[in-house]
Homo-oligomer: A and B are copies of this chain.
């Protein structure tokens, strides 16, 4: 079940990087919406390797074929399966990897998990798996647009170069996809230096959603922040995620962020309209961290427990 994302808009990717194809099955697309294969292709082209000197030179046309769920350009409300054939696999490049596990890759844990693996490239752990995500995302973007929700995103940090501006129109105008043209040039230079050293650089990507109505989120376990966190951390090589102010909020007091504490007079929205200034009496924690510790341990324990039982289902044994 680990290849599936979402409950009502359920997206399952499939395919190994060096198998016949990669793709995605989308179940839950509302019926009667335009599904434009060209719009899917545009997003795939943004993801495609070989776009510029600073991406991998693997060349794949990545032409999408829509196999089901669409009739005369309109969604039927039934599962939409989209397929991209693998063409430029050069599996022989990987033949030498049959007997070794690459450091920093999933090779070893795959073997430990499954007891068998497709050694030709990363299999499912390859970035190529994201083809299906991007194709499904194109459908989601199109559907969200019908209710006024749109997304922008860009690279806001590479190595030690940090973007200061957020001019989203810039993103597709530079190969780094940075919303700050000046920073983009510095980032590009840094990446080229790393490439020439046969090395690589990490960075930070920022995504912004506009027009999301209040109330779309759910509370508690499956709150929107948690789902966004899972969404982002499921992307290969991602190691951190921040929502809103993120870690920087740690530096600020509650009275500055309005996030935790009451007691000081604050401006409040009235249910019937307008605002008023009022102090709330209540009993609150001046720092919640000590009491979060057992909660964080609990959540990690729940996560690992689920992982353990999944592995038992998969392999049929302890370990």
Contact = CB atoms under 8 A, between A and B. Distances in A.
A238 interface: yes
Contact of A304 (B114, B203, B216, B255): B216
Interface string A128-164: 0110011011101101100101011111011110000
A39 interface: no
In which size bucket is the chain A interface?
35 or more
Contacts of A251: 159-160, 202
A304 to B, nearest CB: 6
Nearest to A262: B102
Q: So how many copies of this chain end up in the complex?
A: 4
Interface in A293-317: 293-317
Nearest to A137: B298
Given A71-B118, A245-B239, A294 B14 contact: no
A212 interface: yes
B298 A136 contact: yes
A289 B188 CA distance: 11
A201 to B, nearest CB: 5
A165 interface: no
A20 B1 CA distance: 26
A191 to B, nearest CB: 4
B4 A221 contact: yes
Nearest to A214: B112
Interface string A223-263: 11111111111110111111111110111111101111111
Contacts of A257: 104, 202
A67 interface: yes
B302 A137 contact: yes
A200 B223 CA distance: 24
B21 A68 contact: yes
Nearest to A71: B118
Nearest to A6: B306
A69 B18 CA distance: 11
Contacts of A319: 147, 213, 215
Nearest to A29: B305
A237 B288 contact: yes
A250 B157 contact: yes
Interface string A253-296: 11101111111101111111000101011111111111111111
10 contacts: A2-B27, A16-B76, A78-B219, A90-B283, A104-B254, A138-B298, A177-B290, A191-B287, A201-B286, A203-B288
